[in-house]
Amino acid sequence: MQTGSPPLISAAVICYNEEEYIGQCLESLRWCDQVVVVDSGSQDRTLEIAREFPNVEIDVRPFDNFINQKNHALDLCKHNWVVSLDADEVLIPELISEIQQLPFDKAGYRIGRRSFIGKQEIKHGTWSPDYQLRLFQKSLSRWGGTNPHETILIEGAVGHLKTRMLHYSYRTRQEYVERNTKYIHMMVDHLLSKGRTASVMEAYTHYVGNFIKAYFIRCGFLDGSTGLFLARKIAAGSFLKYRLLAERSRHTAQS
């Protein structure tokens, strides 16, 4: 259990062409004792904006995958307690205050996200409250999981914070479709490399199950047309993932 003064805290952020949000993200991390930004070679004003913050240390690393990129950022952190954010995530003042008052008696803490498509906050469905492990002890943690959906592998008990951060997920619906399609292909590549297979029937089952969960069970319909859009696209994305996995695994077996 933490005793005495609060621990020193590092922040780790990975980014690529995030000029729209990187300033808000880094502004919300001014209270941290160290801020590490690992950039993948941005072509916009991302690095120019990051350099305006005197507490930010910038490292440029060619992108290979999200897990390696985030572990590289973690390795650059000097302090044991780390806040790890994506460049489109912002800590609000109430959340910062809650973090600063923590007993720091856990291995880490999950923080919920208030996610947006454009200016609309998604308050229901499978996107809310969307808890993510964003504050943790470096000595007990490492990024792992399945690219592009990386996750923290942590040893020890994890707490949950009450206040949520802002997550500017996608600027438009079209951006969601394009980026999600790219992520699905990345995920299929990873699953195939692990020997995973699937069937077309499995694809249909996941389509139906994901739509029912997002739209009805998690009340996505309360988000109006955007809730319906998300439920349909989440279901369609799941279908595409398993259909591609079935087709490509069958092709591999026949070749």
pLDDT confidence band for 245 (50 / 70 / 90):
very high
All structural domains of the chain: 9-170 (3.90.550.10), 173-254 (no CATH)
Residue reference for tokens 């980014």: 15
pLDDT (0 to 100) of residue 78: 99
**Spatial distance between the Cα atoms of 61 and 39, rounded to a whole number of angstroms:** 6
Please choose, from the candidates 46, 45, 42, 48, the residue with its C-alpha nearest in 3D space to the C-alpha of residue 61: 42
110 forms beta bridges with 133, 160
Predicted confidence (pLDDT) per residue in 189-234, tens digit:
989 999 999 999 999 999 999 999 999 999 999 999 999 999 999 9
Q: What pLDDT is recorded for position 4?
A: 65
Quick: pLDDT tens for 96-105.
999 999 999 9
Alpha helix ranges (H) inside the chain: 22-27, 46-50, 66-75, 93-100, 173-193, 200-211, 224-254
The answer, as to whether pTM is greater than 0.75, is: yes
pLDDT at 3: 55
Per-residue pLDDT tens over the stretch 134-188: 999 999 999 999 888 899 999 999 999 999 999 999 999 999 999 999 999 999 9
Three-state DSSP at 138 gives helix
What secondary structure does DSSP assign to 209-233, as a single string?
A: HHHIIIIIIT-GGGGHHHHHHHHHH
Q: How many CB atoms lie within 10 A of CB 94?
A: 11
SS3 content of the chain, % helix, strand, coil (to 5): 45, 25, 30
| Rounded mean pLDDT, 34-45 | 99
Reported as a single tens digit per residue, the pLDDT across 59-85 is: 999 999 999 999 999 999 999 999 999
Query: What percent of the chain clears pLDDT 90, i.e. is strictly above it?
Result: 93
pLDDT at 102: 98
pLDDT for 253 = 74
State the average pLDDT for the chain. 96
CA distance 126 to 99: 25
- d(Cα 12, Cα 83) in Å, to the nearest integer? 6
